[in-house]
Each structure stands twice: as structure tokens, then as C-alpha cells.
């Protein structure tokens, strides 16, 4: 029975993680940065684990970078007019 629990706990894929983070952002109306921290605390996951998932996904990385720029933690980069 413990082996099944380990398999379920390690089944956190990139797609599931991103889907959950997007859901938290939409439901709670918070930033992606806060959503990642909230998700990690709620699911007892190390921030470093989340960081490795974010590093491997350009879309999530871009969303977090935009949040950090808006919070003035990173210098703002030029954006194309929309």
C-alpha cells in the first residue's frame, strides 16, 4: 500500500502543476508567485521541486517573470505593443 502512495505523490507532472497553479490564480485572485507558494504549502511540496518544474516550462516561467517585474523584483523588460 505504501508503494502506491509514493507513486501517487510523485505523479506531479508539469501539466498538472501548471493547471493547478492557473486554477489557484483564477479562484483566489492572487499572483502566480503567491499561487506557487500556496500550492507548495498546501501539498507539502518543497519550493525547490516547484522551481524545477517552472524551469522546465517556458510558459509558467514567463508568467512568474512577469509577476516579478510587476512587483519590482526584476527590472522590467521591453514588451511588444498589444
| pLDDT tens digits, one per residue of 25-82 | 999 999 999 999 999 999 898 999 899 989 988 989 999 998 889 888 888 887 767 6
Residue 17 near residue 23, CB atoms below 8 Å: no
Whole-angstrom distance, CA of residue 73 vs CA of residue 69: 6
Task: Please state the pTM of the whole predicted model.
Answer: 0.74
Q: What does the domain layout of the chain look like in residue ranges?
A: 12-70
Whole-angstrom distance, CA of residue 71 vs CA of residue 39: 20
The runs of H, that is alpha helices, within 1-82 are 2-9, 14-28, 32-43, 47-55, 58-70
First-to-last alpha carbon distance for the chain, in angstroms, is 53
Amino acid at each position: 500500500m505504501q508503494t502506491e502512495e509514493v507513486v501517487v505523490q510523485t505523479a506531479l507532472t508539469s501539466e498538472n502543476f501548471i493547471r493547478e497553479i492557473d486554477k489557484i490564480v483564477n479562484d483566489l485572485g492572487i499572483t502566480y508567485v503567491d499561487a506557487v507558494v500556496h500550492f507548495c504549502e498546501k501539498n507539502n511540496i518543497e519550493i525547490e521541486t516547484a522551481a524545477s518544474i517552472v524551469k522546465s516550462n517556458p510558459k509558467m516561467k514567463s508568467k512568474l517573470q512577469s509577476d516579478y517585474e510587476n512587483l519590482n523584483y526584476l527590472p522590467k523588460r521591453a514588451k511588444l505593443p498589444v
